[in-house]
Structure 1
Amino acid sequence: KLERYSSEYISMNFRSLLFLWLSLHFLIFSTTAVSAIPYNIPRLGKVLQHNPETIPASISEEFKTFFYTQTLDHFNYRPESYATFSQRYVINSKYWGGANASAPIFVFFGAEEPLDYDLADIGFLTD
C-alpha cells in the first residue's frame, strides 16, 4: 500500500493531474480556435414570385380554382382581428360521382405557399 506522501503516490497524482490539466487546456483551446472561424448563417432572401401562367394547360384544364374568404387570425376574437384574405383552393371533379355517390372529396390547399408549382410538379392527389 502506498503511503500518503511517498514519492510514488505524489508521482501518480502528479501524472493524473497533469493529464487532466492538459486535457482541459486542449478542450479550451480547440473550442476557441473553432469558434474563431467565422460562420456565415444564410439569411432569408426575397420571396419568390410565382407566375400562374407557368402551369401547363393540360393540368389547368382538369382543375377548377376557387377562393374562400378566410379570417386571418383564427385564435383572436377582438374586432380588429377579423381581417380576411382570399384562401385559394383547387378541386378536381374528374373522379367524383356527385353528391349522391358517396365518393370522397380531396382538397389541396398548398400549405404556406402558392399552389401553382405544386400542381405542376407533383400534381393532384389521385394516386
Structure 2
Amino acid sequence: MLCQPGHMITKWTKNKNGKPGSSSVSDEFEIDWGTYMSSHNDVVYVKLDVRGSKGQGKKAIYRHIGGVEVQDQIAVLRHLLDNLKFLDETRVAVWGWGYGGYVATMILGSQQDVFKCGISVSPITDWLLY
C-alpha cells in the first residue's frame, strides 16, 4: 500500500496485466502510475495478490472465474476502511485492464456498493475470444 500520511482517497488495483496466475505485489522497485498518484496526489494506492494470483493457487478460481477475486478485493477494502480511519469511504475507486478490467466490472456490478468509481480498460467481454 502506497500513501502519504493523512491522505483521504484510495485507489485500488488487482494485477498489472490482470490475468489469473500473475502477480502485482513485488519487492522490486518500480515507478508506475500508482507510485506517481500516491506521491503527487491525495491517493492511497493498493495492490493485491488475491486467490488465483501467482503463488496463491488456481484451485479457488478453477471454473469460478470472477468470483473469489471479487470477494477478496471487497473484503480487503472493507477491512482497510474499518481499520484505517484516514481513508475516505466516499472516494474509493477500482480499475483494471484485460482480465483486471473484467474483474473491475464484476466488482462494480456486485451490488456491494463499496467502490464509488470504476475504470475498466479493455475488459474481457467474450470468453470465446480469451
Structure with higher helix content: 1
Give 1 or 2 for the bigger CA radius of gyration. Answer: 1
TM-score normalised by the chain length of structure 2? 0.21
Bigger RCO of structures 1 and 2 (CA < 8 A, at least 6 apart): 2
TM-score normalised by the chain length of structure 1? 0.22
